[in-house]
Structure 1
Amino acid sequence: MARPLSLQARSLAAAGFVLAAFLALAFIALDRAFYEAAESSLRERLQGYMYAYLAGSDTTRAGALIPPEVGPDPRFDRPSQSGLYAGIVGAKILGSKDGSWRSPSAVGRELPFTEPLPRGPAQFRGPVETPAGDLFVLAQGVDWNSGGKSDALHLTFYVGEDGDALRAQIDVFRRTLLTWLGVLGVALLLLLLAVLRWSLAPLRRVSTDLVRVERGMQEHLGNQYPVELSGLTTSLDSFIEAERDRVKRYRNTLSDLAHSLKTPLAVMRSQLETGSDGESLRWTVLEQVGRMDEIVAYQLSRAATSGHQTFAAPLLIEPYAEEIVRSLEKVYAGKSVLCEFEIDPAARFHGDQGDLMELFGNLLENAFKWARRRVLLDARPLATAGGRRAGLEFSVEDDGPGIPDDKVEHLLQRGVRGDERVQGHGIGLAIVQDIVRAYRGELVVDRSPTLGGARFVTRLGVR
């Protein structure tokens, strides 16, 4: 497959196409405007020549028209290669046998100066094809009143100009216009290329920084990016950090698992080497296998923690909480514990469903275990800084004996139970802490102001 074009090449190609279309339309519009302006100037010039012929003409006492002896422009009096022609058509023209008069430049040429026109405004047409070349012709019918008793003369004045001069003028304009538009187009493309390189420089810097992060030359992308890319780079940094945390967590879990299994294996090896009797060896093996099973279960639970996920779909809180509470009510049916919910409908958990179940499961089970009659689950969205998505704050409270402040840190250690007489492994709260750390949150343990027992407040996404 062909390699896709870069953003710079795509933008430059699109802009070049638009620029070429714009310059082409500009050329057509300017060319048309110049042509109309030149044609209007030509018409006004011919109108001036016609008025000059009208002013230079006179009549005899008999009412015949006397054409001017000299034209308003020397080219009218030039017999050849003139380009300017004039004619008059009328019934009475001095010295004319056929009722028409031609300027010296028009004598002997086949020109459209023969048709008499009624009195009215001037008529302009052209270019008209003639044996003498293309002409622009201005004609007007007039009634000439000499002031005598004779009737007014009806005359038609014609003035024409060769179109070569207009075409030459337009050709010069077009060549000049094409040259300047071409230069302007190249200059604009070069300027656009420079602007694109400057505008896309942050994207190239993101790509370079990603390569540096991949090679281990830097830890994060940084924050020196335009505001339009800040969301992308922040998400990429979060994703990179989450993946590093995940790898680190797996590595630590495997290391802890290997270290934890050494002791049970050493005990069984010692029993085998000392040659203990069968019954004693049997109970020792069963005890150590049970211990290994607990260790593996705990480490698997810890390794399964998904942690912060940048692109995770938000999960509703209440359905999962209800599912866990229904199960716990069956387990602790003899205590008749009442669990109340105060859950904001806008509260969402951005992460893995298993992590949410693990958090609620351990905290609610701990509350049910120590509660006398009541448990309270409170959840609400948590505002975060920097325009990031909302975090989550939830608390689990009970009306049990509570936890003294000086024992909180000890109780949260791995394998420690609040009361050795109560069944459990002492790893539930440790798993909660691992999950909370993975989601960049914090866990606070204090006394419930509502129920009087312990309160576990969890805030996720605060860092």
Structure 2
Amino acid sequence: MTPAPAEPDPRPAPRARRLRIAQPRSLRSRQVWAASLGLIAFLALAGYALDRAFQSTAQSGMRERLHSYALAYASSDFARDGSVIPPWDPPDPRFRRPGSGLYAQIVLDSGQWESDSAQGPKLPDGAMLGPGQQQLEGPLPITRINGTPGEVYRFGYGLLWSDADASGREIPYTVYIMEDTTALGRQVAAFRAALWRYLGGAGAVLLLLQVLVLRWSLRPLRDVIDDLKRVQAGTAAGMSDAHPRELEPLTESINAFIQSERENLERQRNTLADLAHSLKTPLAVLRTRLDSDTGEAELRVEVDTQLRRMNDLVSYQLARAARSGHQLFAAPIEIEPQAEQIVVGLEKVYAGKGVLCEFEIAPDARFYGETGDLQELLGNLLENAFKWARSRVLLTVTEGAQVPGRRAGVVLTVEDDGPGIADDRIAYVLQRGVRGDERVQGHGIGLSIVQDIVRSYRGELQVGRSQELGGARFEVVLPSGL
């Protein structure tokens, strides 16, 4: 009998947890740890370098000192039998004290001479050096006068003695000066103790100053957090301007988001209010008709009329709400392809007029926003120009003012060779629902839509007379973005 297959476990398979090294969550902790490790590493390297420099200096001083002792013993004389006659007064009193740690040897081919201090300790034997040859060795092992092992540094100096008389006798010899390593070791140990004590104290002071500097340098971030908390609590309308230059893009972006959200909320409220206000009249008409003795046929026609009107109102308000607002960080959009698409359609609509549309678009000009907003801007302005133009329409697009660290703005200009708009009628024509000529078909909301879009991008709409074509001139100036 074949066993039934095991049912799958309904519990979700455990996810493999990635091992993560514990990291401090605070920026200040990260900075303190990083700076502290760097400071410790620097102090350690500095201490090592100073220690090596001191040892090198101490050894160099010891070499010079032993060299001067060797020169003192180099003035030794020799008897007729070749034995050494050392100086009467040694260069240092320790040469007379047995086991003092400072020893002198004069090595000859026939034997060697040792200072009084070398009586007792067992010193290493020295070889003959050539005349003028110098050599520093060590540490070399010795046995001290008390029998304990020790070490010495040994400096050798090869010399050649010549007899002053006419015999011309020459005796080669080598002077060795040895010094116990204890003295140099004590100097190095004392220096190291003082060095690390001072470096440790300096490191502690620098760490404290570092914490204070980091606390002071990170204070603007704490101020930003405090501003955000005040905004969240509703006690502040936005981020303050009292922040360092490095944080200005952050605070400006946050303020832009806050302003955008408030505008969206206000726009939604206005849209709902406008929709409710627009629907009041059709609903009131329907209520009046229902309450009256209107016939069924007439009532049906009235209901159909008011329903179409309400449908148009709802469609318009939804389209208006969809057009409103824009993305703060939208990708750049090329303007010429959008303009060509709109002009092709308008040329078909106004084919009977034979209007020619010309483009003067800067290659680097870009629109930073939503594609629908650009289409609404160009569509309404170009359609208005085609409607009033006699034969020519000109679209000019240039880059706006450059602000360092921000994306460039853009200037859109649409001109026609029509009758133009009188200066005293510009404000009237820009009102919602107003047409420049009641005999011309339209709803009178195209330019108001343009104003709404331009206002949402914090731009400006300027209307005047075209100097080149003689008709109306509409200029949209969109500032540099974040």
TM-score for the superposition, normalised by structure 2: 0.88
Q: Work out the CA distance in 2 between the residues paired with 1:42 and 1:231.
A: 64
2:60 aligned residue (40, 45, 55): 40
Structure 2 match to 1:131: 143
- The residue correspondences of 1:133-212 to structure 2 (distance < 5 A) are 133-148=150-165, 149=167, 151-212=169-230
Structure 1 match to 2:4: none
Structure 2 match to 1:72: 91
Deviations 1:41-90 (A, max 9, x none): 111111122222233x333344432234553222221124x111112222
State the 1:285 CA deviation: 1.5
Q: 1:232 to 1:399 in 2, by over 3 A?
A: same
The alignment status of 1:429 with 2:447, answered yes or no, reads yes
Per mean C-alpha deviation after superposition, the further-off stretch among 383-392 and 259-268 is: 383-392
1:119 aligned residue (110, 131, 139): 131
2:291 aligned residue (273, 285, 303): 273
Amino acid of the residue matched to residue 252 of structure 1? N
1:381 aligned residue (384, 399, 421): 399
**Maintained 8 Å contact 2:84/2:113:** no
State the 1:164 CA deviation: 0.7
Deviations 1:126-145 (A, max 9, x none): 11122231000112222212
**Maintained 8 Å contact 1:113/1:158:** no
Secondary structure at the counterpart of residue 319 of structure 2: helix
Structure 1 match to 2:119: 107
Structure 2 match to 1:327: 345
**Maintained 8 Å contact 1:346/1:381:** yes
**Maintained 8 Å contact 1:87/1:113:** no
**Maintained 8 Å contact 2:122/2:142:** yes
Q: Work out the CA distance in 1 between the residues paired with 2:431 and 2:33.
A: 63
Q: 1:385 to 1:151 in 2, by over 3 A?
A: closer
Q: Work out the CA distance in 2 between the residues paired with 1:267 and 1:213.
A: 46
Per mean C-alpha deviation after superposition, the further-off stretch among 315-324 and 427-436 is: 427-436
State the 1:118 CA deviation: 2.9
Q: Work out the CA distance in 2 between the residues paired with 1:44 and 1:273.
A: 125
Structure 2 match to 1:96: none
Q: Work out the CA distance in 1 between the residues paired with 2:53 and 2:244.
A: 45
Structure 1 match to 2:383: 365
Deviations 1:87-140 (A, max 9, x none): 222256xxxxxx222222212332113433332322110111222310001122
Q: 1:115 to 1:257 in 2, by over 3 A?
A: same
Q: Work out the CA distance in 1 between the residues paired with 2:264 and 2:411.
A: 23
Q: Work out the CA distance in 1 between the residues paired with 2:466 and 2:480.
A: 22
Deviations 1:210-244 (A, max 9, x none): 22223222223232222233333333323322232
**Maintained 8 Å contact 2:359/2:396:** yes
Amino acid of the residue matched to residue 340 of structure 1? E
The alignment status of 1:31 with 2:73, answered yes or no, reads no
Q: 1:100 to 1:387 in 2, by over 3 A?
A: closer
Q: Work out the CA distance in 1 between the residues paired with 2:308 and 2:443.
A: 12
Q: Work out the CA distance in 1 between the residues paired with 2:65 and 2:416.
A: 104
- Aligned-pair identity in percent equals 55
Structure 2 match to 1:20: 40
Regions of 4+ moved over 4 Å: 1-4, 384-388
State the 1:165 CA deviation: 0.8
Per mean C-alpha deviation after superposition, the further-off stretch among 448-457 and 424-433 is: 448-457
Q: Work out the CA distance in 1 between the residues paired with 2:480 and 2:179.
A: 87
Q: 1:171 to 1:437 in 2, by over 3 A?
A: same
Amino acid of the residue matched to residue 90 of structure 2? G
Q: Work out the CA distance in 1 between the residues paired with 2:94 and 2:480.
A: 93
Per mean C-alpha deviation after superposition, the further-off stretch among 384-393 and 101-110 is: 384-393
Secondary structure at the counterpart of residue 335 of structure 1: coil
1:59 aligned residue (78, 83, 88): 78
What runs of 5+ residues in structure 2 fail to find an aligned partner?
1-19, 145-149
Q: Work out the CA distance in 2 between the residues paired with 1:387 and 1:339.
A: 35
- The residue correspondences of 1:299-314 to structure 2 (distance < 5 A) are 299-307=317-325, 309-314=327-332
Q: Work out the CA distance in 1 between the residues paired with 2:276 and 2:435.
A: 23
Q: 1:85 to 1:374 in 2, by over 3 A?
A: same
**Maintained 8 Å contact 2:55/2:188:** yes
- The residue correspondences of 1:217-366 to structure 2 (distance < 5 A) are 217-307=235-325, 309-366=327-384
Q: 1:101 to 1:324 in 2, by over 3 A?
A: same
Amino acid of the residue matched to residue 140 of structure 2? V
RMSD: 2.3
State the 1:172 CA deviation: 0.6
Q: 1:65 to 1:442 in 2, by over 3 A?
A: closer
Q: Work out the CA distance in 2 between the residues paired with 1:238 and 1:108.
A: 92
Q: Work out the CA distance in 2 between the residues paired with 1:376 and 1:436.
A: 20
**Maintained 8 Å contact 2:407/2:480:** no
Q: Work out the CA distance in 2 between the residues paired with 1:78 and 1:136.
A: 18
Q: Work out the CA distance in 1 between the residues paired with 2:121 and 2:381.
A: 113
State the 1:261 CA deviation: 1.1
Q: Work out the CA distance in 1 between the residues paired with 2:403 and 2:164.
A: 99
Amino acid of the residue matched to residue 263 of structure 1? T
Structure 2 match to 1:8: 28
Q: Work out the CA distance in 2 between the residues paired with 1:249 and 1:272.
A: 34
Per mean C-alpha deviation after superposition, the further-off stretch among 299-308 and 258-267 is: 299-308
TM-score for the superposition, normalised by structure 1: 0.91
Amino acid of the residue matched to residue 162 of structure 2? N
Per mean C-alpha deviation after superposition, the further-off stretch among 416-425 and 283-292 is: 416-425
Q: Work out the CA distance in 2 between the residues paired with 1:304 and 1:359.
A: 14
What runs of 5+ residues in structure 1 fail to find an aligned partner?
93-98
Secondary structure at the counterpart of residue 117 of structure 1: coil
